[in-house]
Amino acid sequence: MNWESLCKGLNAVDRFCASAELSGVQYDSRQVRHGDVFVAMRGEATDGNRYIEAAIGAGASAVVTDSREAYEKLRREHAQVGAAVVERGRRALAEVSSEVMGHPERDLALSAVTGTNGKTTTAFLLETMLRSVGRTCVLIGTIETHVGDEMRVSPHTTPESRDVLEIFENGVRVGATEAVMEMSSHALEQERVWGLPVDVAMFTNLTQDHLDYHGTMENYFAAKARLFEGVGAPLPRVAVINSDDPYGKRLIVGSQASQLMTYGLEPSSGDYRAEEITLHAGETRFIFKTPKGDVPIRSSLTGRVNVYNLLAASCAALARGLTLEEIVAGAASGAQVPGRFEVVPASNNLTVVVDYAHTDDALRNLISLARELVKERGGKVITLFGCGGDRDKTKRPRMGRAAGEGSDLVVLTSDNPRSEDPMTIIEEALAGVRETETKCIVERDRAEAIGLAIRAARAGDIVLLAGKGHEKIQILRDGTVPFDDVAVAAGVLKEIG
């Protein structure tokens, strides 16, 4: 594609065209190669317009900017480079990337899931169901990105639009026809998913999180709701919504999707329900009640929260054309999701679980599940958790209270303190634990804390290591260090035999 052709479809305030062939698109000047379009946009951490000269020096043939000042400078000093000025840089990045890459989003049926908890598991489950009937998929999520059979580590829950479209392009190249994405509130608010046509939109739940960014729960909800309104694209064809969630009920009332599928556990809510639920460690069973008939679902996932995730994925799979029988088979074939109630192998009679729970609601659900599992054997629940730095501080005492109310012992430690003092974070969470009468051990060093928690356990107990889940690093004030809850726990278990 050449710059002149791209200009015709670009929603620009002003532009001038130079004769240039375009080979790609970048928003990071360090990635620019000869013939690329560089999209310079203002971000949360930096302003891409500061790097226009570096991009031109690296060979950029054209620049799209959201700064009038930068545009005028390009006209004066770089007449050989095509340039355009736009009102919204992120929208332009999506539009330019889509054009340059040949609109790969049009070749994939996209299912997207949003909500506070359950996004990752729901996305994994849906992809598993789609793959089980022979469909080649793209998956973009918190833990991993899948392109057909290739697995890549995900740096972000929802990448920038240019990177999403490149993944889609890679997927189309290997024959993918389906895409499954987690869409975070940040990505929806910042329009990183601008122009992506969503076929099936899913909502899991909404509980307090990310108020450091959104400010209020209403703003947080409004960001999530954008998925169901279409972000620079038509409305989703199908909306799959948790009718047991108060915010889900609001989405249902306002839904304009062609097809609405509501799911839940309450008898009076949801057209698609789970009944006769049986929960065991490593197994969940229920009857999937649908307008098309009832089928028994069995999964190796554990807990009531995963009943909701299985319902959401099953509804989306129905919307994507799978039969009830195919959904039954797909649910049964689903593997463990890393860092989501992941049991650390042990040769003794201790159960150690690593889970990503990092909100008070998720922590409460996790502890409730553990309590159910130890009930028959008279065991105790030991919960280790921490709170992230540079994030919503108001949830710290709430998490402490949730841990204290449900556990027999709490071990309070660091999560990812980032730029904050770990002990300051711990003290704020400790205030919530102190509202309960539960014993609490404070240990700043997470590895030491994991050792303390596991050594405090006896046969029949469950130790919950909450907050980091699948993560393989810890983010400290001085930098990032390797850290894996599963590996640390496995080392302790091996040491104690």
The answer to whether the annotation marks 415 as part of a ligand binding site is: yes
The answer to whether the annotation marks 394 as part of a ligand binding site is: no
Tokens of 44: 């949360």
Among 409, 348, 401, residue whose Cα is nearest residue 380:
409
The answer to whether the annotation marks 118 as part of a ligand binding site is: yes
The answer to whether the annotation marks 471 as part of a ligand binding site is: yes
The answer to whether the annotation marks 219 as part of a ligand binding site is: no
The answer to whether the annotation marks 121 as part of a ligand binding site is: yes
The answer to whether the annotation marks 477 as part of a ligand binding site is: no
The answer to whether the annotation marks 237 as part of a ligand binding site is: no
The answer to whether the annotation marks 249 as part of a ligand binding site is: no
C-alpha to C-alpha distances, 477 to 63, 391, 417, nearest whole angstrom: 35, 14, 7
The answer to whether the annotation marks 120 as part of a ligand binding site is: yes
Residue with tokens 């698109």: 25
The answer to whether the annotation marks 424 as part of a ligand binding site is: no
The answer to whether the annotation marks 73 as part of a ligand binding site is: no
The answer to whether the annotation marks 68 as part of a ligand binding site is: no
The answer to whether the annotation marks 116 as part of a ligand binding site is: yes
Estimate the crossing angle of helix 119-132 against helix 304-319, to 10 degrees: 50
The answer to whether the annotation marks 192 as part of a ligand binding site is: yes
The answer to whether the annotation marks 336 as part of a ligand binding site is: no
Provide the annotated binding site: 29, 115-121, 157-158, 184, 190, 192, 391, 415-418, 467, 471
Provide the annotated binding site for ATP: 115-121
Provide the annotated binding site for meso-2,6-diaminopimelate: 391, 415-418, 467, 471
